[in-house]
Chains A and B, each alone.
Chain A
């Protein structure tokens, strides 16, 4: 699945971020995201995972280093090349599921008919077509997150950035969404960077795990999860999965020591 020789879609070199209050969230972060990859950024809280994601999205400017986009990726500043899923569903409560998903297209002033078709297909992809007229308040937490994912996918982004999207959900919903996400990723041939603090989730989902250490946030170790896709319950219970999880846990433990965690 992963083509390691490919030109990176986006490359962060020596990226650092120091906030005006002096906190150094990132320092010397090197990270390459190649087309078609599913990369997990794994690390303890405070290791700058989310900051790295915001810098890739163009929502935050690095104070050191550079960020380079592949020439085929078009403009670097995001535009519709990037989809972003926040930890919270972050929906507009005052309007319907349909209008929430249509937002990115409306902001780009896409023709209404074209937009409607794309919204329908995005809703279909997350299995919420029947709920297009519902308000976010009327949905469960898992369904709201699906709407959020549909909104991120509606522009068919080259790069989907996800910031601990399932952290607030219960395990059953989380497993279901993990499977659905993998299915969508394979169907759409998109690239995903997924921030998580769960070892199990990172192994189950990703083709590559970047373990981050804190103070300052940086890439500490990298593990290829070269188990084949599609992955399902069988993979979750396999000894292969357990081995990957153990190795990842060890890397995470070392990263935490390196970051000065007790």
Chain B
């Protein structure tokens, strides 16, 4: 927040304020009403119910753990194998993070390049699309032949994740307000100034939208590549653990690793949503709270 909170108050005696959407109505802090409680409480109730049914089904039906482990056993396995699984989690997290960073840099960088040069855009864009539409599962084994394993896994994460960033950033860079572009021209802005002060800020909401998708996709890319690599007999990430536990019929560990992967995906999504909110909360429609 800036030093000047009085800016939020409404200018009195100005009826124009009320007509336009986006007028300075003070944004109300949404109170924790019954609706909000339900939104958080209901999914938790559903989860607990499903777990209870699952647990009792396994116990009553005497289902052996290699067919279906009970939720309790999965949690026990998670605790027992925590050293192994934590190590695998860190490996997968690192790959995902590296892939995500490369996808962000590559996607935004290419979009800027495309925006500055039509020749480059026309020459390369079709190949970016081809890379995107070819299923990653089919590319991964090839990459593993030509690249060292870590590089191959990373490349997979990057290929899957960079396209949404590229597509969204390209759209964003083209969505500049025309009058603002005229204004920059009027004051003799250089290409660099127009890019840095006008185009990139205009594109920011789009880019952040792309990043939210890319975060989940880089995890998927990393997992796909690890599984492909795992069947080649190497690796130590979470997905490799799942494949390996499968061969050994260690089903509880499979579930435990899967649970960790799923949690990772959720955390990534919410972290990026938080970044999105923090970056846009004061100016973009998407991040503003609505007055009900």
Contacts and interface: CB of A to CB of B under 8 A. Distances in A.
Contact of B4 (A78, A80, A130): A130
Q: Interface size for chain B: under 10, 10 to 19, 20 to 34, or 35 or more residues?
A: 35 or more
A82 interface: yes
A106 B197 contact: yes
Given A78-B188, A143-B11, A136 B283 contact: yes
A108 B23 contact: no
A107 B180 CA distance: 13
A138 B16 contact: no
Contacts of B188: 77-79, 107-108
Nearest to B3: A133
A139 interface: yes
A140 B186 contact: no
Nearest to A130: B6
A223 to B, nearest CB: 30
B2 to A, nearest CB: 4
B183 interface: yes
B231 to A, nearest CB: 47
Nearest to B8: A138
B120 interface: no
A59 B4 contact: no
A86 B180 CA distance: 9
Interface string B1-21: 011101110110111110110
Contacts of A96: 2
Interface in A100-151: 103-104, 106-108, 130-143
B187 A142 contact: no
B20 A131 contact: no
Residue of B3, B177, B186, B197 most packed against chain A (CB within 10 A): B186
A1 interface: no
Interface string B249-292: 00000000000000000000000000000000011100010000
A38 interface: no
Contacts of A74: none
B109 interface: no
Contact of A93 (B16, B23, B189, B284): B284
Interface in B11-36: 11, 13-17, 19-20, 22-24
A84 B183 contact: yes
Interface in A51-100: 54, 57-59, 77-80, 82, 84, 86, 88, 90, 92-97
B7 A138 contact: yes
Contacts of B6: 130-131
Given A78-B186, A78-B188, A134 B4 contact: yes
B4 A132 contact: yes
Contacts of B22: 137
A134 B7 CA distance: 5
B182 interface: yes
A169 interface: yes
A84 B186 contact: yes
Given A59-B186, A88-B179, A172 B24 contact: no
A45 interface: no
A138 B4 contact: no
Given A94-B204, A137-B282, 19 more contacts: A57-B186, A59-B182, A78-B188, A80-B187, A86-B183, A93-B283, A94-B201, A94-B284, A104-B187, A107-B184, A108-B188, A133-B4, A140-B10, A140-B17, A140-B20, A140-B23, A143-B11, A172-B13, A172-B15
Interface of B: 2-4, 6-8, 10-11, 13-17, 19-20, 22-24, 177, 179-180, 182-189, 193, 197-198, 201-202, 204, 282-284, 288
Interface of A: 54, 57-59, 77-80, 82, 84, 86, 88, 90, 92-97, 103-104, 106-108, 130-143, 155, 169-170, 172-173
14 contacts: A54-B182, A57-B186, A59-B185, A77-B188, A79-B187, A90-B183, A93-B284, A94-B201, A96-B2, A103-B197, A106-B197, A130-B4, A130-B7, A133-B7
